[in-house]
């Protein structure tokens, strides 16, 4: 079945450490997104990518980095510069950001906690 796979499901980070969250999709979607979900705040956009080798900052990109070397993959690195990284991270994809009436498909999420 086509879908989005995020791994790991749970991740623990020591202070000062960088960690990378994986997101893979087999939907042949051009656009991919990373969101952060905090209680009572809904989803906030961290980074998005419209096409391979291109990505743009979202609303809360500070302390995060991404890459898009392959269409299927859009890993997110939470760097030590992110002061409050404990959250639930969701990856999403859609056919094309320009096809604005296409809904996003979401992965199951990764819960990141600081030790």
Q: Which residues bind other proteins (CB under 8 A)?
A: 4, 31, 33, 35, 40-45, 48, 50, 56, 58-59, 90, 92, 97-98, 100-101, 103-109
Shortest separation between residue 26's beta carbon and other proteins, angstroms: 15
Contacts for 45 with CB less than 8 Å, ≥ 6 apart: 33, 34, 35, 58, 59, 60
Shortest separation between residue 17's beta carbon and other proteins, angstroms: 26
- The tokens describing 8, both together, are 């790991």
Q: Which is nearer to other proteins, 85 or 109 (CB)?
A: 109
Shortest separation between residue 18's beta carbon and other proteins, angstroms: 25
Q: Which is nearer to other proteins, 16 or 42 (CB)?
A: 42
Using CA atoms, how far residue 5 sits from 15, 17, 21, 24, 114, in Å, is 26, 24, 11, 5, 23
DSSP 73: B
């Amino acid at each position: 079945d086509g879908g989005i796979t995020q791994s790991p499901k749970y991740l623990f980070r020591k202070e000062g450490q960088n960690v990378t969250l994986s997101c893979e999709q087999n939907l042949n979607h051009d656009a991919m997104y990373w969101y952060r979900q905090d209680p009572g705040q809904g989803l906030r956009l961290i980074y998005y990518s419209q096409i391979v080798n291109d990505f743009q900052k979202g609303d809360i990109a500070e302390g995060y980095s991404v890459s898009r070397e392959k269409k299927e993959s859009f890993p997110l690195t939470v760097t030590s510069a992110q002061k409050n990284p404990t959250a639930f991270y969701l990856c999403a994809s859609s056919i094309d950001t320009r096809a604005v009436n296409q809904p996003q498909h979401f992965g199951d999420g990764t819960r990141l906690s600081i030790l």
